[in-house]
Amino acid sequence: MTTICLIGYGKMGRMLHQLAPEKGLKVVGMVDPVWDGAAREISRDSLNNADVAIEFSHPSAVLSNLERLLDLNQNCVIGTTGWHQDLPRIVEMAKSSGIGMVYGANFSLGMNLFSRLIVDAVKLFDGFDDYDLMAWEKHHAQKADSPSGTAVELAKLILENSSRKTKVVWDRLQRRPEAEELHFASIRGGKIPGTHVLAFDSDADTIELSHVVRSRATFALGALQAAKWIAGKSGVYSFQDLIADILC
């Protein structure tokens, strides 16, 4: 049985703890600076010989947590978002350490399959100038980053596969968007777990592709699957690499 240590014991950490036995994993440690019953910091003792550490903390803490896990040669799954501007440096550090690591902007299996549909749709509509592209995402009021890491990744995919859109605009527009600009809006409020929409619009009709999260369990289940997959492995992988491995 794969053993895991949970780094961060907020809503996601507690859901991971709840779902782990159903997926054949055993929680042997928890680390959280404020949660009673959890260790306060990452150490060999708090990791408790876990096969994999799953990190769902906060963007302000993820880099220091990662550096500590690398120092301890701990295989890990990084579920926290809002740190990917530092991804190249972290990937190099992880590769040098020889550990196994899985990272991703979104650990929902459905979202990762959705992103593949997005690529196909953008290519399909690219030759039809009547259709303009736009996108938006909605999340709960407590989400720490905006735009979401998933939105950033989706925008990257759209630009890579569109000959007409070459630039993404995240901010509010107080002018007409240029033809080459993809306007990707963000909304924060309420309890929304997560919604991402890509729309193709013409004078005659609108086609929308959307991914709507009904439960945070989708992220937890993906992270648990990633933990089982990376246990005993070395190398640095995105969650999309895991999906590609399953599809192959």
- Which residues are tagged catalytic? 139, 143
Classify each residue of 51-83 as buried b or exposed e, where b means 16 or more C-beta atoms within 10 Å of its C-beta. bbbbbbbeeeebeebbebbbebebbbbbbbbbb
Phi, psi of 186 (to 5 degrees): -125, 135
Q: Which of 73, 93, 77, 110 is closest to 238 using CA atoms?
A: 77
CB 145 within 8 A of CB 189: no
Q: Say how far apart CA 151 and CA 156 lie, in whole Å.
A: 8
Q: Say how far apart CA 129 and CA 131 lie, in whole Å.
A: 5
Please give the angle made by the CA atoms of 60, 62 and 68, to the nearest 5 degrees: 125
194 in the Ramachandran plot: left (φ > 0), alpha (ψ -120 to 50) or beta?
A: left
Pairing of strands 181-188, 167-169: parallel
